Amino acid sequence: MNPTAAVTLDRDSLGLADTLTATLRVEGQAPLVVTLSKEILQSESAAVWGVKPLGAAVVSPLADGRSAWTLKLRLDPFVPGEAVPLAFAPLTVKAGTNPETSVDVPAKSVKVQTAIRDPKASDARGPTGYLDPPPGSPPPSGVPPYLAFLVGSVVILIAAVVVRLRRRPAAVTPPTPAVRLETLAGRWAANAVGGREFAEELAAIVRTHLESRFAVPATRRATGELGDAAPLDRFKGVLDWCDGVKFGGREPAAEECGDVMNRTRELLAIQAGTSSSSFS
């Protein structure tokens, strides 16, 4: 009997900021050896999904001298849609004494929802500056002369401090990750940044957010060292994509960059509490 392949999903609908778990299963004559393609997903699906194996494959015995090969995969959506395609590349299978053969995996489609509608750079709010303290009030009438002198001295001292502070350069508040993301979006729309530089800046934005929000040294650790604890794991797909562009030597398509940017915008909005929807 020829080997067969199947895929099961832990859900058929999810939010743009959520992740999906897929289980690949191949059955065939023992001994069973399955080899993944270099690109796990077909090109159309690879542009809209991030994929990463969750551990090693497991081979278990079945009846009649057959075996089952299973592998769990983590999938991160980059684009919303009613039926986002999920098509796997064919698997290379050697079952028993039979020669290697190519086995197709049935394609799936998943509904991916988003709570953001038509985001614009103008919607981002910049940081609020500091307000100067109010000047001191004059002493009340009818107070003793020494108290009036004391209050007057304090007022003069405060005024001198205020004048001195005003002469100093105003403190510059660093832009928030959301503002940096919209700035990057504007540069990308104007073709002022290349794909690799885009990936480097996007990764820096995400890492700065994780470090300031969750007190993890994200700017000093590799993606694989950040751990999988929620909500850090939600950003893994974006960081994996950025690493693939930076270290893989490839130039991503414009649509691909736009999809990853929308996913990052969604994640930042959810954690900032500006999104009213949550997905399970």
Q: Tell me the pLDDT of the chain (280 aa) as tens digits.
A: 789 999 999 999 999 889 999 999 999 999 999 999 999 999 999 999 999 999 999 999 999 899 999 999 999 999 999 999 999 999 999 999 999 999 999 999 999 998 765 555 555 555 555 555 556 655 555 667 777 778 788 888 898 888 777 776 666 678 888 899 999 988 988 888 888 899 999 999 999 998 888 888 888 888 877 776 656 788 888 998 998 888 888 888 888 898 999 999 998 888 776 443 333 2
Domain 4-113 has CATH 2.102.10.10: no
Q: 205, exposed or middle or buried, with CB in 10 Å at 0-12, 13-18, 19+?
A: buried
The tens digit of pLDDT for each residue in 161-213 reads 887 777 766 666 788 888 999 999 889 888 888 888 999 999 999 999 988 88
- The backbone torsions φ and ψ at residue 83, rounded to the nearest 5 degrees and listed phi first, read -145, 75
The 10 Å Cβ neighbour count of residue 193 is: 17
pTM above 0.75, yes or no: no
Domains of the chain, residue spans: 4-113, 121-125+174-271
Encode burial over 122-144: b for 16+ CB neighbours within 10 A, e otherwise. Answer: eebeeeeeeeeeeeeeebeeeee
Give yes or no for a cis peptide into 231 (omega within 30° of 0): yes
